[in-house]
Amino acid sequence: MKRSLLRTVKRIIERYGLLHRGDRVLVAVSGGVDSVVLLEVLDLLKEEYELQLFVAHYDHRLRKASLRDSLFVYQLAKKKGLPYLYGVSLVKEYARREGLSLEMAGRELRYRFFERLRRDLDLHRIALAHQADDLAEEVLLRFLRGAGRRGLAGIPVKREAHIIRPLLFVSRQEILDFARERGLSWVEDESNRDPRFVRNRVRHLLIPFLEEHFHPRVRENLKRTALILAEEEELIDEMARKALDRALVKEAKEVVLRVPILRGYPEALRRRVFWLALSRAGVSLIRVRKVHLEALENLLSGKARGPVPLPGDFRAVRGPGILRLLRSPSPVSEPFFLEIYGEGEYLLPGGKFILERGASREASVLDPERISFPLVVRSRRPGDRIFWPKVGHKRLKKFFWEQGIPPEMRDLWPLVEYQGEIVAIPGYYVHPAYQARGKEGLVLRFVPHQGVSFALQKRSG
C-alpha cells in the first residue's frame, strides 16, 4: 500500500508540476490523519526532490482540545527534525466582527497566516492535505449551494502556482491504510462529526444515502466530473488572464480597468475578469459571492452609480471610461476650514497641503501678483461651483466626477478659496484669472495620507 500511495502521489506531482527540485515547502498540518500522511509522504520524498520542509499549524481556538492538537503537531515536527510554525487567533470573535460564518472566518485567517509565512520565509509552495473524498464532498456541496462552472470544478490540485494538494486524487481509505501500515498516530477532531455543520451532513448522511440508493460509486463519479471541469477551467482561466491584461490600465497604482474593453467581452468572460481583478486588488476571494459580481456588472452598465461595496474594506468606483477597485480610506465626517497667511506645509484630515514659491508643470500654480493672504483652505460644501471658460460656472460635484476623484475622497480633497471664490484645487484646477502667467508662482500640492491612493485620470487648469 505504501508503494501504491507514493506512486500515485509522485504521478500527481509530476503531471501537474506541483514540486521542483530544491523547493522550500510549507506543510499545513492540523494533526488529523490526512495532514499527518501528507507530512509523512513529503518527508519520504524529501531527498528525492531535495526539499526543505516547514511544518505549520494554525490554532482556531474553537475547541477545548485545540491546544492538545497544537502540542501533538509540535512533537511530530520535533521528531522529524523540522521547523514548527504556530499561528493562533480567536476565530469566533473575528467571525462576529466581520459578519462571517465560523468556517469562512477560520479559512480566511488560516490562509492569511500561511501566505504571510510564505512571504516572510521565502517559501516556494504551501502543501495542503485535501484528498479525493474532500473533492467529491466539495463538488456536491457547491452544487447544492448553486455554484457555477468554476465552483463545480471543486478543489484545484494547484492554485496560483504555489498552493498545492498532492493527496487530492488519493481516497480517504487509501490514506487510512497507509497511516496504519506506517504505524502513524494522529488526533481526531470531534467537530468533524458535528451534524450542525453542513459539510458533515453531506459527508455522513447525504453521500452514504446516494451510494446506497442511487449509485455505489458516487464519490468516484463526482471526482471524475470535477477533474473534467478542472481541466477545462485551466483553459478558460488562461483566456481570462489575457483578457484582464488587455483591460488593465498599466500605469495605475491600484487595479484600474478600461470600461470600453470590458464591455466588448462576453458576460461570462467578464465575470472571470472581475474575479481575477478582485484577487489582484487584494480582495479576499473567500468572501466574494455572485451578488458582488452582479454589482460590478451593474456599475459597468450604468444601472448602479456606485461606489459599490466589496468584501473587506474595498470598493469599486466608476469614473470616465474606467472602473477602479480600491481600499476605502477611513471616512471623515467633520468638514475642515483653515486660514493660511503664508507659504508652508499644513496638515489636513486627508493628508498634507503644501504651498511654496516655485515653478511646476505638474502642480497647480497661482499668480502671487493677483492674490494676497490670507487664503482659505477648506473642504467642499453643497452647491460649490468653479468658473469654467466658455461655460461660465460648473458644479464642483460634476467636476470631481469628470476628473475621476472617488466619492470617498471628495470630502478630503482641499479647495483653495480667495475672496469667497474657489481659485484652485491642488493637482486639478486653477481659476483662469488667477493662474500664473510666468514661469514661477505659488505652487499648490496635496499629498494624501499613506494608504489613501488612486490614479489621477485628468488634469485641468
Q: Binding site residues, as ranges?
A: 30-35
Between CA 311 and CA 327 the distance in angstroms is: 10
CB contact at 8 A, 426 and 364: yes
Between CA 385 and CA 380 the distance in angstroms is: 10
In the numeric block, the cell 472566518 is attached to 105
Residue type, 258: R
Strands (DSSP E) found in 230-313: 255-258, 308-310
Each as own residue / partner, the long-range contacts of residues 110-117 (CB below 8 Å, 24 or more positions apart, any chain) are: 110/28, 110/58, 110/60, 111/286, 113/56, 113/58, 113/87, 113/89, 114/26, 114/28, 114/56, 114/58, 117/26, 117/54, 117/56, 117/85, 117/87
Q: Is 63 left (phi over 0), alpha (psi -120 to 50) or beta?
A: beta
Annotated binding-site members for ATP: 30-35
Measured from the Cβ of residue 156, the count of other Cβ atoms closer than 10 Å reads 20
Half-sphere exposure of 460 (CA within 13 A, CB side): 17
